[in-house]
Structure 1
Amino acid sequence: MRVLVNGFGRIGRTILRQLLTTRTDSGITVAGINDIAPLDMCAYLFAYDSVFGPYPGVVGQADGYLMIDGATIPVSHAADLSTLDLRCIDLVLDCTGIARTADIAARGLAAGAGAVLISGPSPAAEVTVVLGANDADLGDARIVSNASCTTNALAPLLRHLDTALGVVAGHMTTIHCYTSSQPMTDAPRGDFARSRAGALSMVPTTTSAAALVTQVLPHLAGRLTASAVRVPVASVSAIDLTATVDRAVTTEGFRDLLAAADPALIGTTALPLVSSDLRGRPESLIVALPECFATTPHQIRVFGWYDNEWGFSARMIDMAVRMGHR
């Protein structure tokens, strides 16, 4: 399967790093990269990563190609993807963060690619799919949203809990590392709190996770609320979910239920870990079992970690493989 990575930022680079290191058996070939940044900058930021460390291989660039471990990947710099010839591309991984309107989301198709997978929420997508939550909805859609990192952590968990216990209502708080949407120093943004320096304060804010969960699990509409606190760490976030359930459960039974989830998507740990210990984990969520309990037979609390870059990029790869096998 031949893919083009459109947007070589945090997610685009992390996807490529996984494909070249931990996911070499995926059947995916990165046949091109498109980014408006200069080639030497793309090569530098791939080779040296502040979160995941240096790339464990040889990275160079020359004559319009990114050269990694002897392989060459052509790099283009089109602001409008539709100006390229992508007839040899099966799937565009749109990691730009700007594919929010139909004309932008469809640029890969206009250039000749077979389909587009968007690395984030997009109202322009034909369908939003979260693995472990609404896999069957993928169908033959050509523009697909992979939702958000937080939704990928939350939706499979809710699907698992609802199937076993029946979720009546709940509230989730994501404790989320800072991102490039926040300034390094106080600077105007659309939201007053998020105009403050991201690495200096905990910042209460909003999250799209509740609305996206309603898209992928519509029967839970009106039963879930969500909020976020951005915290001054560079990687690995967490969710803290409290829910009322229909069927009674004990703490021991609840922990057993969590441990019985699909381990490829929902991992577990019984160790007293902190956020940096979960860096580079590929699961959508890693549940901290000692932090999970039944407050009453009908009220539960779940705490879990997720690497919002590495884990989400792993789901992008998984979704790309599924789209290639349709």
Structure 2
Amino acid sequence: MTRPMQVFINGFGRIGRTVLRQLLTDPAHADIVVVGINDIAAADSCAYLFQYDSAFGPFPQRVRADAGLLHVGDRAFALTRHSDLAQVDLTGVDVVLECTGRATTRPVAEAGLHAGAQAVLISGPSPVADQTVVLGANAQTLGRARIVSNASCTTNAIAPLLRAMDAAFGIAAAHVTTIHCYTGSQPTIDLPGPSPERSRAAAVSMVPTTTSAAHQVTEVLPDFAGRLSVSAVRVPVHSVSAIDAVFQLRNMPADALSALRGLFADDPIIGLTDDPCVSTDMRARPESLILALPQTTAVAPAQLRLFGWYDNEWGFSARMIDMARLMQSRD
């Protein structure tokens, strides 16, 4: 009998908490054991923010913290507050889910390995990862990499779509705009920031900005260099994002909707909807992208416009779990 996979969550912010929610509420993850959680925040704050979530609602079981433990219903998880993960004994841990947002230097990224874990999966872009892997796009490049970046939520939304569309129809050129909800990197009131636009209050304006996906997609899919551009607009919603993509195709399908249905039928990474949805309807969807078929528009003989939703927290966290499984399965 295969032993349960052991994971450790380092960083109990938006992604760390969402990963734990999925692991505790989806019976399909009963074979994954969370052996501990580490975050520098006070234990009471960790418990409160897991119990009450502005995007996903209250957790259905009682949550409390005491004596170095996070209690969720009848389960208890070791809860530590180390700024250096190397101080935690991670012997026997298969994968550290590195969710602090700080793994941009090698010492931070490899701390979990020094603590005894077999591998580290980073919940975002990292220039020091051994490999950046996006499921549905370049999973074949994983190899034996021990420090892996799961890229960004937007890269996870775009890259699998590009790979599938290119294989099916041939993409001569593409432009993708991500329409992204605001994040913790933006101020709630006007404050000095990394750019004039990003210094403005997040919840009152649409903010044109840059996105890491602009270069990450071509890192994941190098053959798209020179035929892809990506831009971003942050919008005043707190959950769920979208992409608006225009493709110049070498082989335009005669019936675009039928072709899309055939291409993505039963795809766990890219979903489809025929309904006239808005962003809140897509909250807690596990796919990396959900194409809104009513928004599909074919223009001229070779141009196709697609629109898709993605829950940038829930969907990305689902891929974290899937990627951790893939990493552990190499053993």
TM class by smaller structure: over 0.9
The equivalent residue for 2:206 is: 202
Partner of 1:90: 94
Q: Distance in 2 between the 1:191 and 1:241 partners? A: 25
**CA apart distance, 1:26:** 5.2
Alpha-carbon deviation of 1:257? 2.5
User: In structure 1, what is the Cα distance between the partners aligned to 2:51 and 2:28?
Assistant: 18
Report the AA paired with residue 209 of structure 1: A
Query: What is aligned with 2:313?
Result: 309
TM-score, reference length from structure 1: 0.97
List runs of 5+ in structure 2 lacking aligned partners. Answer: none
The 8 Å contact of residues 4 and 91 in structure 1, kept in 2 or not, is answered as yes
Measured against aligned partners, the alpha-carbon deviations of 1:22-72 in whole angstroms (never above 9, x if no partner) come to 254352111000000011100000000011000011212111000111111
Which is worse superposed, 215-224 or 177-186? 215-224
Aligned to 1:211: 215
Provide closer, same or farther for how the CA distance between residues 132 and 45 of structure 1 changes in structure 2, counting only shifts above 3 A.
Answer: same
The one-letter code sitting in structure 1 at the alignment partner of 2:321 is I
The alpha carbon displacement at 1:89 in A equals 1.4
Q: 1:294 aligns with which of 298, 320, 323?
A: 298
RMSD, matched Cα = 1.0
Task: Provide runs of 4+ in structure 1 moved above 4 Å.
Answer: none
195-204 vs 208-217, greater mean Cα deviation:
208-217
Which residue number in structure 1 is paired with residue 79 of structure 2? 75
Which residue of structure 2 lines up, in the alignment, with residue 105 of structure 1? Answer: 109
Contact 2:253/2:259 (CA < 8 Å) preserved in 1?
no
SS in 1 for 2:231: strand
Between the aligned partners of 1:83 and 1:48, the Cα distance in structure 2 is 30
Name the stretch that deviates more: 75-84 or 175-184: 75-84
Identity of aligned residues (%): 60
- 3-state SS, counterpart of residue 121 of structure 1: coil
Work out the number of aligned pairs and report it.
324
Q: From 237, 241, 256, give the equivalent of 2:258.
A: 256
Q: Distance in 2 between matches of 1:88 and 1:164?
A: 43
- Structure 2 distance, partners of 1:24, 1:183, is 38
Alignment of 1:1-326 (within 5 A): 1-25=5-29, 27-250=31-254, 253-259=255-261, 260-261=263-264, 263-326=267-330
CA distance in 2, matches of 1:299, 1:238: 20
Q: Deviations over 1:147-190 (max 9, x none)?
A: 00001010010011000011111111000000000001111111
CA distance in 1, matches of 2:134, 2:196: 31
